[in-house]
Amino acid sequence: MCGIVGAISERDVQGILLEGLRRLEYRGYDSAGMAVVDGGQAVQRAREVGKVAALVDAIEGNPLKGHLGIAHTRWATHGEPSRINAHPHMSGDRLAIVHNGIIENYQELRQELKTDGFAFTSQTDTEVVAHLIEKNYRELGDLYSAVKATIARLRGAYALAVVHADEPDHLVVCREGSPLVVGVGIGENFIASDQLALLPVTDRFMFLEEGDIADIRKDRIDIHDREGTPVERSTHRFEHGADSADKGEYRHFMLKEIHEQPRVIKATMEGRVTASRVLEQALGTDAENLLDHVRHVQIIACGTSYHAGLVARYWIEEVAGLPCSVEVASEFRYRKHVIQPDTLFLCISQSGETADTLAALRQAKQAGFRAALAICNVPGSSLVRESDLVIMTQAGPEIGVASTKAFTTQLTSLLIFTLALARHNGLSEEKESEIVQALHLVPGQVNDVLSLDGEIEELARGFMDKNHTLFLGRGSLYPVALEGALKLKEISYIHAEAYPAGELKHGPLALVDSEMPVVTVAPNNDLVEKLKSNLEEVRARGGELFVFADREAGVASEDSLHAMQLPPVHEITAPIVYTVPLQLLSYHVAVLKGTDVDQPRNLAKSVTVE
Ligand code: G6P
């Protein structure tokens, strides 16, 4: 994902920009660049493919001097990673911009600007924006109006920062669907995609809202909303430890990471979806062409990531209408397989270093899959480097061995991928919009579930002295039950198994008695009535039920049934939301039992050996 930094100050800004870029490296990128305005004289620019270190080397003997500048780490979407495609992009030699996001209508704008005589030097969608601002600048005479007129014509997602050598006393920034924060200094101000980039220079931040455009000067920040009304955005102090390897106010990393989910799910959506559509170019330069050819998806993963793959199978088959197979990597790599033509090989891994997953990928490359897509949380990991396409989850570092926020951001990425794939397979715009809108509701719904923490802690007492637990789910909630069981056994050491609820009577029912709690997830989908019958089967055998149900599903607490009411959710996004109460349940059971929550016995966060 691209990263942006900008600064206006009394001092030279090169050092601030480079440090900001280094701090954005975690987002993953393939090239970096910066442009500095030199006292109203000119724009100097440097761009390099590869690491920020390559940019540092390139400008070492020839620093970019000036008090106003913008910088960028690029993650290619339109055009290969190359110096020419790296940002900042310029129109003429006086206007420079950096951009994070996707301009969907760039082809038509490019055509129009070519007719107007603008020459293009890159394959990016961003260069179109640079020329359009310059064109408007010539007509309107000031940068702020030029940016405003330009964004009125853009479709897609963007965060932009723009400088012009004729106006060396400010930069203009705006956002729509991609993140952008303003860092507030004393006699100097900054902007970035992420507050982490600016921590060496300030701890005070303003968060721009969708549609905002801001004029940033050394001593003033003027913001207008989408309608052009002047607005104030409040200044917040940075919450220390929010993203670093620090537990902050939480007792355990796992709890902190569970609570980070609304934010990181949102971050994973940023730049990849508009209010109603998926931006498939955000999946990579070749995504559009590739997705057109995919006829089958083979998913490979281990542990929690494997469960994310199992959920995705329901989505891919239901929403995209394509066959999907899912297998644990350690099995896949040691058997012969039949590869359907035009199969996309999809690896899911938080760490990107899991030995079995990597081995499966390396085999797949020999075996003739169409292409390899990785869903991963660690930029620069082996998996990311060795795959053709990558979707980075934006979970931030996950320290707790039991995976939580990595899982829900994997699901978010997988749903975005499914929608992009489905678009090539007849998904209507209406349906896409319905699901994207449902996805936008997920961070809020996860927050609602987090507010049930106290009640879930109470429920957890019912598990303290138990040796076994059964988890039940149906449809796409069956993998959620599997993940719930995995979490419980990982951190509380209680033996837990998950079953599709319909399988209960084919065996596990024999185990049910008052010593076997049964946990069930029950969103209000078309399987809920069948699930209720399964619950009756358990109650009739004296089993104790713990049901996480949609408050409209008609499941109420009574005798041996403990019902926890969850907010109504769309049936497609239900697996993401229903994962969270099961994470909290396992967490509280483990705390009550006094186990080592963050580093459970015998387990490792990243399994880099077979
Ligand atoms: C280990 C971890 C699990 C994780 C699995 C796969 O077993 O303890 O939490 O789900 O590896 O890891 P990956 O990094 O490939 O997602």
DSSP structure class, residue 273: B
Q: How far is the CA of 355 from the centre of ligand 1 (A)?
A: 10
The response to whether residue 304 sits with its C-beta less than 6 Å from ligand 1 reads yes
Mutate to test the pocket of ligand 1, among 258, 302, 399 (most ligand atoms within 8 A of CB): 302
Last residue of a domain, one of 364, 394, 427: 427
**Based on the domain organization, do 263 and 200 belong to the same domain?**
no
Q: Is 268 in the pocket of ligand 1 (CB under 6 A)?
A: no
Distance CA 507, CA 530 (A): 18
Judge if 71 and 156 occupy the same domain.
yes
Ligand 1 binding pocket includes 64 (Cβ within 6 Å)? no
Map residue 511 onto helix, strand or coil.
helix
Decide which of 213, 237, 261 is a domain's last residue.
Answer: 237
CB of 56 shorter than 6 A to ligand 1? no
Contacts of 234-238 with CB under 8 Å at 24 or more apart are 234/206, 235/184, 235/204, 235/205, 235/206, 236/204, 236/205, 236/206, 236/207, 237/203, 237/204, 237/205, 238/195, 238/199, 238/203, 238/204, 238/205
**Is the Cβ–Cβ distance between 234 and 223 less than 8 Å?**
no
Give the total residue count for the chain. 610
Q: What is the distance in A from the centroid of ligand 1 to the CA of 335?
A: 22
* Of 274, 280, 273, residue with least CA distance to 294: 280
- Cα 173 to the center of its chain, rounded Å: 23
362: Cβ contacts below 8 Å, ≥ 6 apart? 386
Q: Which residues pair with 71 in a beta bridge?
A: 5, 34
Does residue 608 belong to any structural domain of this protein? no
Rounded to whole angstroms, the Cα distance separating 400 from 605 reads: 8
Q: How far is 583 from 276, CA to CA, in rounded Å? A: 29
Q: For residue 403, give the nearest of 243, 232, 554, 257 by alpha carbon.
A: 257
CB of residue 381 inside a 6 A radius of ligand 1: no
CA distance 361 to 380: 16
Which of 427, 459, 480 is at the close of a domain?
427
Q: Which ligand 1 atom is the nearest neighbour of the CA of 354? A: 15
And the tokens for 480?
């959620």
Ligand 1 atom at shortest distance from the alpha carbon of 304 = 10
User: Is the domain of 157 the same as that of 44?
Assistant: yes
| pLDDT tens-digit readout, 532-568 | 787 888 888 888 899 999 988 888 888 888 999 999 9
Give the pLDDT confidence score for residue 230 in this predicted structure.
96
User: Within a domain: residue 458?
Assistant: yes
Q: What is the pLDDT of residue 210?
A: 85
> Can you give the C-alpha Rg of the chain in angstroms?
25
Strand, coil or helix: what is 73?
strand
Q: Is the CB of 403 under 6 A from ligand 1?
A: yes
User: Do 294 and 323 form a contact (C-beta atoms < 8 A)?
Assistant: no
Same domain flag for 231 and 261: no
**Cβ 354 under 6 angstroms from ligand 1:** yes
Q: Is 521 part of any domain?
A: yes
Could you tell me if the CB of 607 is within 6 A of ligand 1? yes
Looking at the structure, tell me whether residues 194 and 326 fall in a common domain.
Answer: no
Q: Is residue 367 part of a domain?
A: yes
- Ligand 1 atom with minimal separation from the 410 CA: 16
Three-state secondary structure call for residue 82: coil
Residues 215 and 322 in one domain: no
Evaluate whether 137 touches 95 at the Cβ level (below 8 Å). Answer: yes
Asked if residue 325 lies in contact with residue 297, where contact means CB atoms within 8 angstroms, the answer is yes
Helix (H) or strand (E) holding 577: helix 574-593
Number of domains in the chain: 3
- Do 188 and 308 lie in one domain? The reply is no
Residues in the chain, pLDDT under 50: 241-242
* Residue from 382, 596, 606, 608 whose mutation best tests the ligand 1 pocket (most atoms within 8 A of CB): 606
For residue 595, what are the domain limits? 446-599
For residue 434, tell me if it sits in a domain.
Answer: no
Q: Is the backbone peptide bond immediately before 600 cis, with ω within 30 degrees of 0? A: no
CATH number of the domain that 309 lies in? 3.40.50.10490
Ligand 1 touching residue 195 (CB < 6 A): no
Q: Which amino acid, 378?
A: V
**Nearest CA, atom 7, ligand 1:** 303
Cβ-contact 103, 128 below 8 angstroms: yes
209 with 332, same domain? no
The catalytic position among 2, 174, 302, 376 is: 2
- Intra-chain end-to-end CA distance of the chain, in Å: 31
Listed residue (21, 281, 316) closest to 157, CA to CA: 281
Pocket test for ligand 1, best of 310, 311, 327, 403 (most atoms within 8 A of CB): 403
Q: Three-state DSSP class for 177? A: strand
Nearest to 138 by CA among 171, 166, 174, 104: 166
- Shortest-distance Cα residue to atom 2 of ligand 1: 605
Active site residue 302: no
Query: Same structural domain for residues 255 and 214?
Result: no
The alpha carbon of 349 and the centre of ligand 1 are apart by a number of angstroms equal to 7
Nearest Cα residue to 6 out of 223, 214, 168, 162: 162
Q: Which two tokens stand for residue 228?
A: 């052009």
Domain membership of residue 570 (yes or no) is: yes
- Determine the pLDDT at residue 242: 46
User: Same structural domain for residues 191 and 259?
Assistant: no
pLDDT at 1 (0 to 100): 64
Q: What is the pLDDT of residue 24?
A: 83
- Which has the closest alpha carbon to 411: 332, 549, 279, 310? 310
Residues 70 and 36: their CA atoms lie apart, in Å, by 7
CATH code of 42's domain: 3.60.20.10
The DSSP code for 558 is B
Tens-place pLDDT, residues 164-221: 999 999 999 999 988 889 999 999 999 998 888 898 899 899 989 889 999 999 999 9
Do 232 and 262 fall within a single domain?
Answer: no
Distance from the CA of 401 to the center of ligand 1, in angstroms?
Answer: 8
Task: For residue 380, tell me if it sits in a domain.
Answer: yes
Distance 302 CA to ligand 1 centre (A): 6
Beta-sheet pairing, 561-566 with 518-522: unpaired
* DSSP classification of residue 140: H
Element (H, E) at 204: strand 204-207
Residues 57, 158: contact at Cβ < 8 Å? no
Has residue 127 been placed in a domain?
Answer: yes
2 is catalytic: yes
305 lines ligand 1 (CB under 6 A): yes
Same domain, 96 and 206: yes
| Angle formed at CA 41 by CA 183 and CA 45, multiple of 5 degrees | 60
Residue 554 tokens, joined: 């008609």
Q: Is the CB of 600 under 6 A from ligand 1?
A: no
Position of tokens 């949102």?
266
What is the number of the ligand 1 atom nearest to the C-alpha of 403?
Answer: 9
Q: How far apart are CA 81 and CA 92, in angstroms?
A: 22
